[in-house]
Amino acid sequence: MDSSHTSTRPAGPPVQYSAARKWATVAVGCLAVVVLSVDLTALHLAIPGLVSDVDPSANQILWIADAYGFALAGLLVTMGVLGDRVGRKKLFLIGTVAFGAASLLTAYAWNAETLIAARTLLGVAGATIMPSTLSIVRNVFTDPKERTAAVGISMGVGALGVGLGPVFGGLLLDHFWWGSVFLVNVPLMAVAFVAGAVILPESRDPRPQRLDLMSVPLSIAGVIGLVYAVKEAASGGLMQGRVAVALLVGVVAAGAFVRRQRRIDNPLIDVALFRRKAFTGSILANLMAMFALVAQSLLFAQYFQLVLGWSPLKAGLAGLPGGVFAMLGGVAAAPLITVLGRARLVAVGMTLAASGFSLYTLSGASSNYPLLVLGMAPCALGMGMAMTVTGDTILASVPKDRAGSASAISETATELGAALGMALLGSILNAVYRTSVDVPADVPESARGAVEDSIGAAQHSAAGMPADLGSRVVDASRDAFVTGMHVALLTSAALALAAGVAALFLLRDVPKVLVDEEDPIDEGDKQAPRKAAPIAEAR
């Protein structure tokens, strides 16, 4: 490492901001985050409309859906570090302009290739915004308890945005063409840009170094290779040539990236961050939490529409209580840390989530919405509490100068956890469905394969059968799907419990209140204790 990693940061009191400006900063960040969250889920409702208008092939539809996530996941680390070096406010404002322009291009895409390119640009823009929002919050809130509350609100709003996506999407698509779900981003990002320019303070690493250009493609190839391999394995199984190639590329690139970061003087990621037990423990807990949490969006989108027969709008409204409870959990986390401590609060939150996943298994092939809310409440509340604590711990356990980098690592782990969860839980659901579906004996041999494949294929096939036979096929597919869903939900419950137990050990020694440190992380700071931590914990 060069001397810039071991020099002492200039002493001086942190900049103090008024309460109004601090909470206005949170509001600006929340606006941007909710737009990103809504955009992520609203696309699924827009696909039928854009298919008839743009006429993409089956392979192009997959890329339209995945291009955003691949670009986002691949560039989070680079953009987080870039924000630390050029200024987080500057990068945030660039991101809002880029996201608005890419949304405009997406809404008026004239062919499938343009739409894929526009979705990729949306992912690039999203990667500039996501790390910037939390890292700016990290630098504005110097009081640990206020910072935890701000992080909780930000994460809760993000969860609410995921739930609002289908609602807004359904409302817009009931009255306008498919591009309206993207066009609405333009005025919202314009507001975020103007408000951000006026309200957000600028912050950056006071000792910026040049960007290592070799590290950028290695980080992108590592993340995208792993995420692509997981997604392809989920849809077509592990024994595919492209899965093996993507996995090999991802592992080799990730290994080369880590090796390079340890050897060069200006690393894209300071691997010494991972020597911090609080940081690494929280990253792993977040990854495991997302692994379990993805079950809700994956399973319920199909359950509400294909099993219960609800419209997309009704299905979207049905998921709203989850977003509300997640926000309440985020807000409640700050005072509860003082009572329980970080490790125990994450464990309690994950145990609550596990109980919610288990309660979901009381649902069946007929509608019983109050029973679903009974599971949704503890699940979302617990996840909101746990992920607020881990998110705050990630930001607070590193110097403010590296908040963008830390936030980007956290977001990347979240993306990877979601992809892994989608792959595993989707595979479990499909496997149980195929082994448990009771195909009526009089189903024609030509249709039997479709009925045994998935609930969607079964219902499509049933539409062409005589009414009585079609009804029995639909009932059989619904029963088999519910069985598979229950097994996947119980798997999620086990994963949530495992994350809670892991947090008890990984976060065991992390103080309740994490105060800012004065010295940067370096090779000689491998186990340096936080000087103010014992005092802060005793307050």
d(CA 128, CA 72): 9
Asked whether residue 384 is assigned to any structural domain, the reply reads no
d(CA 187, CA 203): 26
Q: What is the pLDDT of residues 424-452, one digit of tens each?
A: 777 788 888 888 888 888 878 777 877 88
238 plus 163 within the same structural domain: no
Asked whether residue 104 is assigned to any structural domain, the reply reads yes
Specify the pLDDT at position 141. Answer: 77
d(CA 142, CA 18): 11
Specify the pLDDT at position 354. Answer: 92
pLDDT of residue 293 exceeding 90: no
Asked whether residue 33 is assigned to any structural domain, the reply reads yes
pLDDT of residue 453 exceeding 90: no
Asked whether residue 445 is assigned to any structural domain, the reply reads no
pLDDT of residue 20 exceeding 60: yes
Whether the CB-CB separation of 195 and 28 falls below 8 Å is answered with yes
Residue ranges making up the domain that contains 127: 19-206
Asked whether residue 51 is assigned to any structural domain, the reply reads yes
59 plus 173 within the same structural domain: yes
195 plus 85 within the same structural domain: yes
pTM of the model: 0.73
Q: What is the pLDDT of residues 409-425, one digit of tens each?
A: 777 777 777 767 776 77
56 plus 197 within the same structural domain: yes
Q: Where are the beta strands (DSSP E) in 90-218?
A: none
Alpha helices in 437-524 (DSSP H): 445-453, 455-462, 467-506
Q: How many domains does the chain have?
A: 2
94 plus 193 within the same structural domain: yes
190 plus 101 within the same structural domain: yes
- List all residues 6 or more positions away from 338 whose beta carbon is below 8 Å from its beta carbon: 145, 512, 513
25 plus 151 within the same structural domain: yes
Q: What is the pLDDT of residues 230-279, one digit of tens each?
A: 777 766 666 677 778 888 988 999 889 888 888 887 777 777 777 777 78
| Residue ending a domain, choose from 172, 189, 206 | 206
Closest by CA position to 537, among listed 24, 144, 13, 204: 144
131 plus 258 within the same structural domain: no
Asked whether residue 496 is assigned to any structural domain, the reply reads no
150 plus 244 within the same structural domain: no
144 plus 81 within the same structural domain: yes
Work out the percent of the chain whose per-residue pLDDT is above 70: 84
Asked whether residue 60 is assigned to any structural domain, the reply reads yes
CATH number at residue 171: 1.20.1250.20
130 plus 39 within the same structural domain: yes
136 plus 254 within the same structural domain: no
Closest by CA position to 476, among listed 444, 436, 447, 429: 436
Asked whether residue 505 is assigned to any structural domain, the reply reads no
CA dihedral 85, 88, 93, 97 (to 10 degrees): 60
Closest by CA position to 515, among listed 371, 364, 399: 399
| Residue ending a domain, choose from 161, 191, 206 | 206
Task: Quote the distance between the C-alpha of residue 408 and its chain's center.
Answer: 12
